[in-house]
Amino acid sequence: MTDLTRNQELVHKALEQADGPLSAYAILDLLKGDGLRAPLQIYRALEKLVECGMAHRLESLNAWVACSHRHRPGGVAVFAICRDCGDVDEFQDGEVLERLTGRAGERRFAMDHLTVELHGLCKDCNGTGG
Ligand SMILES: [Zn+2]
Ligand SMILES: [Zn+2]
């Protein structure tokens, strides 16, 4: 387990308890009572949580989610984001990473990270959930 500062722990807990992705300002709002006042404190904590794999940033939503997986090396996190109920389902795919890393390499592009987001309707919202 990674050693977290108090702020990082608070932010992580807020993400874990949330029903869906949270923006930095939503997190700030939740943690005001705990003495966190500056957006920078939140961003710093989020940065660290993402770095150690305990949270992910959803780029298109500019929001963060807690991650409870243990990511395999070489796996990439894929997010299926429901536009109706806001549900975010995370799963992993190794082939996507391999393929895109190869493509990036062909272009001599040095990739920092890769986020894959699928946008649409979850099974409950598209009627196939039963
Ligand atoms: Zn994850
Ligand atoms: Zn949905």
For the chain, how are helix, strand and coil distributed in percent, rounded to 5? 40, 20, 40
Q: Rounded to the nearest whole angstrom, what is the distance from the C-alpha of residue 20 to the centroid of ligand 2?
A: 11
The per-residue pLDDT for 23 is 97
Neighbouring residues of 21: CB distance < 8 A, sequence distance ≥ 6: 58, 61, 63, 64, 65, 81, 86, 88
The per-residue pLDDT for 111 is 82
The protein residues having their C-beta less than 5 angstroms from ligand 2 (an ion) are 82, 84-85, 87, 122, 125
Q: Rounded to the nearest whole angstrom, what is the distance from the C-alpha of residue 78 to the centroid of ligand 1?
A: 8
Q: What is the CATH code of the structural domain delimited by 6-66?
A: 1.10.10.10
Ligand nearest to the CA of 122: 2
The pLDDT tens digits of the residues spanning 72-92 come to 655 688 999 999 998 999 988
At the fourth CATH level, the homologous superfamily of domain 76-120 is Ferric-uptake regulator, C-terminal dimerisarion domain (3.30.1490.190)
For range 53-72, the mean pLDDT:
87
The pLDDT tens digits of the residues spanning 6-40 come to 999 999 999 999 988 999 999 999 999 999 999 99
Show me where the domains of the chain are located: 6-66, 76-120
For range 87-99, the mean pLDDT:
88
Same CATH fold, 76-120 and 6-66? no
Ligand nearest to the CA of 79: 1
Work out the number of other CB atoms within 10 angstroms of the CB of residue 27. Answer: 24
